[in-house]
Amino acid sequence: MNWLQNLPDYLVLGLTRGSMYALVALGYTLVYGVLQLINFAHSEVFMAGAFGSYLVVSQLAPGEHGFLGASMIVLAGLLTGAIVSALIAWTLELVAYKPLRQRGAPKLAFLISAIGMSFFLVQLFGKLFNRFSGNPFPENYLDKNAPVLELGGVTVTRIQVIIIVAALLTMILLDRIVNGTKLGRSIRAVAEDAPTAALMGINIDRTISRTFLIGGALAGVAGFLFGQAFGFGNTMGFDQGVKAFAAAVLGGIGNLRGAMMGGLLLGIVEAIVPPLPFIGIEWTDVVAFVVLVAILVFRPTGLLGEKLGRAA
Amino acid sequence: MSLLEVDDIEVRYGAIRALKGVSFHVEEGEVVALLGANGAGKTTTQKTVSGMMRPSLGEIRFDGERIDGVPAHTLIHKGICHVPEGRRVFPRMSVLENLEMGAFRFKTHDEAVLDRVFELFPRLKERVKQLGGTLSGGEQQMLAIGRALMGKPRLLLLDEPSMGLAPLVVQQIFEIIREINDDGVTVLVVEQNATQALGLADRGYVLETGEVVLSGTGAELLADDRIRAAYLGEEIAH
Ligand SMILES: Nc1ncnc2c1ncn2[C@@H]1O[C@H](COP(=O)(O)OP(=O)(O)O)[C@@H](O)[C@H]1O
Ligand SMILES: [Mg+2]
């Protein structure tokens, strides 16, 4: 059977997509942890990262580059994506959420504010840059589809290696921050019990700001990776955002390990199920959400439950 | 100069006036008890002292310095450590992590203080790796007190440390509060358990619907008919 033969390829594809879902899902889950709020504008934070990294990569890419040069360009793309998205997320919190928080606004007001910011950012980037999706990143410097690894019929391309390795390293870094630093400890404490965290000397507002910075940076890394792999545009956030949010819920919103697992699982399901006989690629999104609903029916709090636990 | 001076504070929850001009003072080295029925305003008083709430009127001074309106996360640097109502240990952090949280204001925790906490509460030492949320009520209270001690308090605020605990455990907790005070920590303890609290306290204040209605030394209050009637459940013989 064809499907079985291709399964290893589908798995690699799924892992690639899933790593990007996971990076974005972590941002939803981090913010949910400290604020019990779904930051619906997070998808646009992701989009902004793609734009930011494009501006830098498109400057650096022309000309001849060796392996080292190309690696440096990728690194620059990752970093600018992370920085731009982190700053957008931080600003978002400052203008759209913090004023509401200080006035004790109801949860619904945050939701409206988030949706408003999401529209605003989509339109802003559309106006400032362009209105089309699928704009390509420079590719010549990278030769992204060149095979890196061929193992028993599976071909792993350069861009796939970059995505998986970058996502993995980013998540390891996140784990070090959350479990190994005082900042991480304060994020966990605020997520568990904010008023008591304040009694320990933790500045809640500052911790929330920094949580947005971290979540934003993760989304920015994904923004660059996604843009480099599939192209970018001002509306690119919606689809990825909804899927990543689903992944966060799948894993258990508020749970970091859950977001990683949920992202990878969603990516893999999306890659291996639709090509099955009698299903078809056009059913990809349906398959993804059928799985989400099925899991939530049996585990309403997601795979790992609704808690900001330790990262993997 | 008193260590803590609370001067005619009014505290509101929106339109509700929870404290209507409360004044009291705590001297360095004392144990002072705040007594009163449910809803009298004891918790609100402590929350205002530790910076979780700000008074709408009145002043609070610590070591002679105005602290009303200073947020909790800043106030802890002055050495005011609050064990809140309901203990509020971090449920998904281990016992050790909870204790480390208490020392968050320092770069690293002080090993000597940690040793002292384990000496006071050997039970915590046996359970360093256990998650806070899985401890018994008494152990959580010990953890909450230990966590506050890690912040090296000059003034320790305890909100109903005996709540929901078996009499034997209450006894134990109050003995430990005595030892903590002997270590030089000033204590302001809120209690409904008036006998225990007044047995321990140098002085006490009785709150009723947001006002101080009685004050005196522990012994005076214990002997007061109104206290005996209201909090010790005794009939007044006429
Ligand atoms: N979060 C709140 N919102 C509104 N009213 C409150 C709140 N917390 C306490 N109160 C009211 O303030 C008064 C004092 O409460 P509290 O300080 O908790 O009393 P105590 O600790 O002595 O039982 C009560 O009337 C209570 O109903
Ligand atoms: Mg109370």
pLDDT attached to residue A5 = 86
**Percent of chain A with pLDDT strictly greater than 90:** 73
Largest CA distance in chain A: 62
Of all protein residues, the one whose alpha carbon is nearest to atom 14 of ligand 1 is: B41
pLDDT attached to residue B1 = 85
Q: Assess whether pLDDT exceeds 90 at residue B138.
A: yes
Closest CA of chain B from A179, distance in Å = 11
Q: Assess whether pLDDT exceeds 60 at residue B122.
A: yes
Q: Is the CB of B108 under 6 A from ligand 1?
A: no
Residues on B contacting A at a C-beta cutoff of 8 Å: 50, 52, 71-73, 76-77, 81-82, 84, 88, 90-93, 97, 100-102, 104-105, 147, 151
CB B12 within 8 A of CB B63: no
Q: In this structure, are strands B57-62 and B31-35 parallel, antiparallel, or unpaired?
A: unpaired
Q: Assess whether pLDDT exceeds 70 at residue B96.
A: yes
B72, A307: Cβ pair inside 8 Å? no
Position B86 confidence tier, pLDDT thresholds 50, 70, 90: very high
Question: CA distances (Å), A139 to each of A148, A229, A230, in order?
Answer: 16, 9, 11
Topology of domain B28-54+68-231, CATH: Rossmann fold (3.40.50)
Interacting residues of B222 by C-beta distance below 8 A, sequence separation 6+: B194, B195, B198, B199, B228
Q: Is the CB of B38 under 6 A from ligand 1?
A: yes
pLDDT attached to residue A149 = 84
Position A311 confidence tier, pLDDT thresholds 50, 70, 90: very low
How far apart CA A153 and CA A279 sit, in angstroms, is 24
Among A229, A215, A212, CA closest to A77: A229
Q: Assess whether pLDDT exceeds 60 at residue A312.
A: no
Site from A181, A199, A205, A308 to mutate, B interface, most B CB atoms within 10 angstroms: A199
Interacting residues of A44 by C-beta distance below 8 A, sequence separation 6+: A88, A117, A118, A121, A122, A125, A237, A241
How far apart CA A163 and CA A154 sit, in angstroms, is 17
pLDDT attached to residue A168 = 97
Position A151 confidence tier, pLDDT thresholds 50, 70, 90: confident
pLDDT attached to residue A146 = 86
Q: Is the pTM of this model over 0.80?
A: yes
Site from A182, A187, A200, A256 to mutate, B interface, most B CB atoms within 10 angstroms: A200
A198, B73: Cβ pair inside 8 Å? yes
Q: Is the CB of B48 under 6 A from ligand 1?
A: no
pLDDT attached to residue B232 = 60
Mean pLDDT, residues A190-214: 97
Per domain, the residue ranges of chain B are 28-54+68-231
Between the CA of A217 and the centroid of ligand 2 the distance, in Å, is: 42
pLDDT attached to residue A308 = 47
Closest CA in chain A for residue B103? A200
How far apart CA B49 and CA B51 sit, in angstroms, is 6
Mean pLDDT, residues B99-115: 96
B101, A195: Cβ pair inside 8 Å? no
Per domain, the residue ranges of chain A are 2-298
Cβ pairs A/B, distance under 8 A: 61
Between the CA of B209 and the centroid of ligand 1 the distance, in Å, is: 10
Residue-wise DSSP of chain A: -HHHHHHHHHHHHHHHHHHHHHHHHHHHHHHHHHHS---TTHHHHHHHHHHHHHHHHHHH-SS---HHHHHHHHHHHHHHHHHHHHHHHHHHIIIIIHHHHHTT--HHHHHHHHHHHHHHHHHHHHHHT-S-S-BPPP-TTT-TTSEEEEETTEEEEHHHHHHHHHHHHHHHHHHHHHHHSHHHHHHHHHHHHHHHHHHTT--HHHHHHHHHHHHHHHHHHHHHHHHHHH-B-TTHHHHHHHHHHHHHHHH-TT-HHHHHHHHHHHHHHHHHSTTSTTT-GGGHHHHHHHHHHHHHHH-TT-SS-SS-----
> Which strands make up the sheet holding B155-159, listed edge to edge?
B80-83, B155-159, B186-191, B31-35, B203-208, B211-217
B93, A192: Cβ pair inside 8 Å? yes
**Percent of chain B with pLDDT strictly greater than 70:** 96
Position A307 confidence tier, pLDDT thresholds 50, 70, 90: low
Closest CA in chain B for residue A201? B73
Position A74 confidence tier, pLDDT thresholds 50, 70, 90: very high
Domain A2-298 has CATH 1.10.3470: yes
Kindly state the helix (H) or strand (E) to which residue B175 belongs, with its residue range.
helix B167-182
Mean pLDDT, residues A65-78: 94
How far apart CA A70 and CA A76 sit, in angstroms, is 10
Looking up tokens 């590719």, which residue turns up?
A139
Of the partner residues A189, A204, A309, the one whose CB lies closest to the CB of residue B90: A189
Q: Which residues pair with B60 in a beta bridge?
A: B6
Closest CA of chain A from B141, distance in Å = 14
Residue B210 exposed, middle or buried by CB count within 10 Å (0-12, 13-18, 19+): buried
A221-245 pLDDT tens trace: 999 999 999 999 999 999 999 999 9
Of the partner residues B77, B84, B151, the one whose CB lies closest to the CB of residue A196: B84
Q: Which of B13, B20, B190 to probe ligand 1 with, by most ligand atoms within 8 A of CB?
A: B13
Between the CA of B85 and the centroid of ligand 2 the distance, in Å, is: 6
The percent of chain B in helix, strand and coil, each rounded to the nearest 5, is 40, 25, 35
How far apart CA A284 and CA A277 sit, in angstroms, is 13
Of all protein residues, the one whose alpha carbon is nearest to atom 24 of ligand 1 is: B39
The CA R_g of chain B, rounded to the nearest whole Å, is 17
Q: In this structure, are strands B16-26 and B186-191 parallel, antiparallel, or unpaired?
A: unpaired
pLDDT attached to residue A304 = 85
Site from B13, B43, B90 to mutate, A interface, most A CB atoms within 10 angstroms: B90
pLDDT attached to residue A249 = 93
Position A99 confidence tier, pLDDT thresholds 50, 70, 90: very high
Of the partner residues B52, B71, B104, the one whose CB lies closest to the CB of residue A200: B104
Q: Assess whether pLDDT exceeds 60 at residue B235.
A: no
pLDDT attached to residue B237 = 47
Atom of ligand 1 nearest to the CA of B37: 22
- When mean pLDDT is compared over A1-15, A122-136, B55-69, the highest value belongs to B55-69
pLDDT attached to residue A245 = 95
Looking up tokens 């256990």, which residue turns up?
B130
B190-230 pLDDT tens trace: 998 888 899 899 999 999 999 999 999 998 998 888 777 77
How far apart CA B177 and CA A304 sit, in angstroms, is 40
Of all protein residues, the one whose alpha carbon is nearest to atom 18 of ligand 1 is: B43
pLDDT attached to residue A229 = 95
Position A14 confidence tier, pLDDT thresholds 50, 70, 90: very high
Mean pLDDT, residues B135-159: 96
Q: Is the CB of B150 under 6 A from ligand 1?
A: no
Closest CA of chain A from B223, distance in Å = 36
Q: Which residues pair with B7 in a beta bridge?
A: B59
Contacts of A203 in chain B (CB under 8 A): 73
A200, B100: Cβ pair inside 8 Å? no
B50, A199: Cβ pair inside 8 Å? yes
Between the CA of B48 and the centroid of ligand 1 the distance, in Å, is: 12
pLDDT attached to residue B228 = 76
pLDDT attached to residue A306 = 58
- Whose atoms come closest to the Cα of B41: which ligand? 1
Atom of ligand 1 nearest to the CA of B41: 17
Interacting residues of B123 by C-beta distance below 8 A, sequence separation 6+: B139, B142
How far apart CA A138 and CA A73 sit, in angstroms, is 11
Closest CA of chain B from A91, distance in Å = 23
